[in-house]
A and B are shown apart, each in its own frame.
Chain A
Amino acid sequence: MSDDELTLYPWRKRVKTLPKSFKNPIVNIIRVGHVPKLASTRERIRENLGINRKPPTAYHDEKARLELKELVKGTDLYDKAMWDERDE
C-alpha cells in the first residue's frame, strides 16, 4: 500500500508480513519452483501413466530453481516471504 493510499484510507493498515496462506505457496515457489511440492505418490502415478516420473520443469531441474531464486532476490516477494537461508 502506498503512502497516498494510507492517507486516503486511514483505517487501513500496511501489511508487513504475508498471511500464511500466501507465504507457504511463495516459499514453495522460491524453493521448488512451483506452488505444490511433488509428492512421491504422484510421481508413481505419473510413471504408471507413462509420463516422466518427475515433470520436465523446475521439479527436476536444480539450475532452474537457483535461477528463479536469484531472479526474485531483492524483490518484495522475497523479503515479504521472510525467506530465511537457515531454513534450507
Chain B
Amino acid sequence: MTRNYALFLGCYIPSMQPFAEASLRRIAPLLKMKLIDMEGATCCPVPEIVRLVDYDAWLYVSARNLALAESEGEDILALCNGCWETLHEAREAIVSDPELLTEVNSHLSLFDKRLEGKIKVKHFLEVIVEDVGLQSLKASIKKPLSNLKVGVQYGCKLYKSPESKFVTYFDNIIETLGVKAIEYGAEKLCCGFPLSLYSLDEAMEERAKFKLAKMQEAKVDCLVTACPGCFDVLEKAQLLLKRQDLHYEIPMLSLTELMALSLGFRPQEIGVDKHRVKTDALIAKLGMVGN
C-alpha cells in the first residue's frame, strides 16, 4: 500500500544539498511513498535562532507550516532533524493548550488557514522504520554496499525522540543496508552547527575538528548523516581547515543518498558528485566510476 506524506524540505536541503532531496524523490516510489509537495512552506523556523529570539514568532510560523500539511490531510515527512524538532515540538505545544490553539488560529485566520492538530510530524527515519518497514527496505536493495565502512553522524536532535528511538532507527537502517558502521568514539558529540551560528571558527575548533580527526583515525570510507545542519558544518569545516594544513578528505553522504545508492541509483543521478568535499574515492570504492 502506498502511503502519502506532505514533504517538508526545510531550508538547507533544497538550497544547499539538493542531492538529499533528489535521492529521496528517486527512492520514494520504490518504497511505496508518495510525496506531496508543501507548496508555500517556509523555514520551519530554525529553532536555534527564531525560538531563542521570539517564541511567539517561532510558534506562529511553525503553525502556518503545520496548517499547510493539514490542508493536504497528510502527515508531515521531515527530512531535516531541526525541522522535525521545531514542527514536532510546536505542534505538541499548540495542540496541548486550547487557549494557545485559539490564539494561533486567530493569526492564521488572516490567511484563511486553520490548525486543528489532526496530522503528525514524522522524521524520515521514523517513516522508513515504522511505516515502510525494514523488510521492505531490504527487499528493495539492488546493490549491496557491504564493502563500505561508514562513520555515522546522528545529530543531537535525534536524541530528543522518545527514548532516543531515532538513533536506534538510524542504526537499524544502516544494518539493513548491509553497510558496516565503524565506531569512532565521538558519535554523540555535537557537530557544532548551533555554535557555528555564533562563530564558525569556534564551531570548527571546538567540535568539528575533533570529530573529523576521530573519523579519520577510524579510517571510515565516508560519513553518513540525516541532518543537513551537521552535513553543512562538517563539510565547511573540511574545506576551511585546509588553511591549517588539516586534510581530512572524508566524503559525506546524506542518508537518502546512501539508500539511493543501495537501491541501485548511480551517484551521478542523485548528485553525489556535486558535493563540496570530493567524493571521487568513494565512488571508485563503490565501483561506480564512469557510470
Binding site for B on A (CB under 8 A): 18-19, 21-22, 25-26, 29, 33-39, 42, 45-46, 48-51, 55-59, 61, 63-65, 67-68, 70-72, 75-78, 80
A36 surroundings in chain B (CB, below 8 A): 11-12, 15-16
A22 surroundings in chain B (CB, below 8 A): 49, 52-53, 197
Residue of A nearest to B25 (CB): A51
B110 surroundings in chain A (CB, below 8 A): 70-71
Instruction: List 19 extra interface pairs beyond A29-B61, A67-B111, A77-B54, CB under 8 A.
Output: A22-B49, A22-B197, A34-B15, A35-B11, A42-B16, A46-B22, A49-B270, A51-B25, A55-B14, A57-B39, A58-B40, A61-B40, A64-B40, A67-B40, A68-B42, A71-B61, A71-B107, A75-B60, A76-B54
Of B16, B42, B111, which is in contact with the most chain A CB atoms at under 10 Å from its CB?
Answer: B42
Q: List 14 A-B contacts (CB under 8 A).
A: A22-B52, A29-B45, A35-B11, A35-B43, A38-B15, A49-B19, A50-B22, A57-B9, A57-B14, A65-B42, A68-B42, A72-B61, A75-B57, A76-B54
Give the secondary structure class of A's interface: helix
A77 surroundings in chain B (CB, below 8 A): 50, 53-54, 57-58
B38 surroundings in chain A (CB, below 8 A): 56-57
Contact A71/B25 with A35-B11, A57-B9 known, Cβ cut-off 8 Å = no
The number of residue pairs between A and B whose CB atoms lie closer than 8 Å in the complex comes to 126
Q: How far is the CB of A45 from chain B (nearest CB, A)?
A: 5
Contact A34/B54 with A56-B37, A57-B41, A72-B60 known, Cβ cut-off 8 Å = no
Residue of B nearest to A76 (CB): B54
Interchain CA distance A21-B37 in the complex, whole Å: 30
Residue of B nearest to A22 (CB): B49
B269 surroundings in chain A (CB, below 8 A): 49
Interchain CA distance A18-B274 in the complex, whole Å: 34
By the criterion CB–CB under 8 Å, are B14 and A45 in contact?
no
Residue of B nearest to A47 (CB): B18
Q: How far is the CB of B268 from chain A (nearest CB, A)?
A: 9
Q: How far is the CB of B280 from chain A (nearest CB, A)?
A: 18
Q: How far is the CB of A52 from chain B (nearest CB, A)?
A: 9
Question: B21 at interface (Cβ–Cβ under 8 A)?
Answer: yes
Contact A25/B46 with A49-B19, A67-B111 known, Cβ cut-off 8 Å = yes
Residue of B nearest to A80 (CB): B53
Residue of B nearest to A19 (CB): B198
Residue of A nearest to B108 (CB): A71
Question: Which B residues from 15 to 70 make CB contacts under 8 A with A?
Answer: 15-16, 18-19, 21-22, 25, 37-43, 45-46, 49-50, 52-54, 56-58, 60-61, 64
Interchain CA distance A80-B55 in the complex, whole Å: 13
Interchain CA distance A25-B232 in the complex, whole Å: 15
Residue of B nearest to A67 (CB): B111
By the criterion CB–CB under 8 Å, are A42 and B18 in contact?
yes
Interchain CA distance A34-B44 in the complex, whole Å: 8
